[in-house]
Amino acid sequence: QQPVQSPQAVILREGEDAVINCSSSKALYSVHWYRQKHGEAPVFLMILLKGGEQKGHEKISASFNEKKQQSSLYLTASQLSYSGTYFCGTDAGGTSYGKLTFGQGTILTVHP
Amino acid sequence: ETGVTQTPRHLVMGMTNKKSLKCEQHLGHNAMYWYKQSAKKPLELMFVYNFKEQTENNSVPSRFSPECPNSSHLFLHLHTLQPEDSALYLCASSQDQPVNTEAFFGQGTRLTVV
């Protein structure tokens, strides 16, 4: 069962912050985040593993709440280059170990 | 450029045609994947190959037939497709499978079935 992302779309001005959420109905082993710009390949952002730490680099970070079965992606002081569609992929482990199921995506648009 | 190359970038085919999509990676990865990306739908995993062996077939119709002759190449053979098969087909690779490492995606083949 696919994770649910919220919001579906968000519009920001440069320098503003955004949070994208990814919720699953199943217990999760890991959560993966990707960004895809129009006409381009999805690009890896980060992986969060069960029992792992919150991750981030520069102004993009993410958290993984195992109990709530959800992950959040934090974009601070957004830049024009952050525009694109953000996908979370979840791995429920067990018999589904290693099999990523992706959410429907969140479209992020950053304006000058 | 992610290191994963897909050809062709665009393909238009009739429902009775047979065509193949090609994916190539020279990243030294052992796992390769086919995904389908339709408008307003999530990325759907189709097939997984690990060390040239198919480890996952996500209930994909038999009109899609994958082939992995070596760890660097992955094909998706298409025949008697339906209009609803029109989509962006993405290939990806990762060091190993299960996917606990970064996956690298190609730019995809935009397929239109007429």
Contact status, residue B6 vs residue B16, Cβ threshold 8 Å: no
A76: burial class by Cβ within 10 Å (0-12, 13-18, 19+)? middle
The yes-or-no verdict on residue A82 having pLDDT over 90 is yes
Most A CBs within 10 Å, among B100, B101, B104, to test the A interface: B100
Q: Residues 59..88 of B with a Cβ closer than 8 Å to A: which?
A: none
Are B45 and A104 inside 8 Å of each other by CB?
no
The pLDDT value given to residue B56: 81
Are A44 and B104 inside 8 Å of each other by CB?
yes
| CB half-sphere exposure, B27, CA atoms < 13 A | 22
Joined together, the tokens standing for residue B45 give: 């995993």
pLDDT per residue as tens, chain B (114 positions): 669 999 999 999 999 999 999 999 989 999 999 999 998 788 999 999 988 888 888 889 999 999 999 989 999 999 999 999 999 999 999 887 655 678 899 999 999 999
CA distance A99 to chain B (A): 7
Residue B78's H or E segment, with its range, is: strand B73-79
Are A41 and B107 inside 8 Å of each other by CB?
yes
Cα separation, B32 vs B49, in Å, equals: 5
What are the chain B neighbours of A32 within 8 Å (beta carbons)? Answer: 99, 103
- Helix ranges (H only) for chain A are none
Mean pLDDT of A13-33: 93
Residue A99's pLDDT band (cuts 50, 70, 90): confident
The top-scoring range by mean pLDDT among A61-70, A93-102, B77-86 is B77-86
The pLDDT value given to residue B99: 59
What are the chain A neighbours of B40 within 8 Å (beta carbons)? Answer: 104
The yes-or-no verdict on residue A75 having pLDDT over 70 is yes
Report which residue type is found at A105: G
CA distance B99 to chain A (A): 5
Q: How far is CA B92 from CA A26, A60, A84, B52, B97, in A?
A: 25, 23, 19, 14, 12
The yes-or-no verdict on residue A54 having pLDDT over 80 is no
The pLDDT value given to residue A50: 77
Q: Return all residues near A45 (Cβ < 8 A) that are at least 6 apart.
A: A33, A34, A35, A60, A62, A73, A86
Relative to beta strand B10-13, strand B64-70 is unpaired
Average pLDDT, chain A: 89
Residue A26's pLDDT band (cuts 50, 70, 90): confident
The pLDDT value given to residue B55: 82
For B15, other C-beta atoms within 10 Å of its C-beta total 13
What are the chain A neighbours of B99 within 8 Å (beta carbons)? Answer: 32, 91, 98, 100
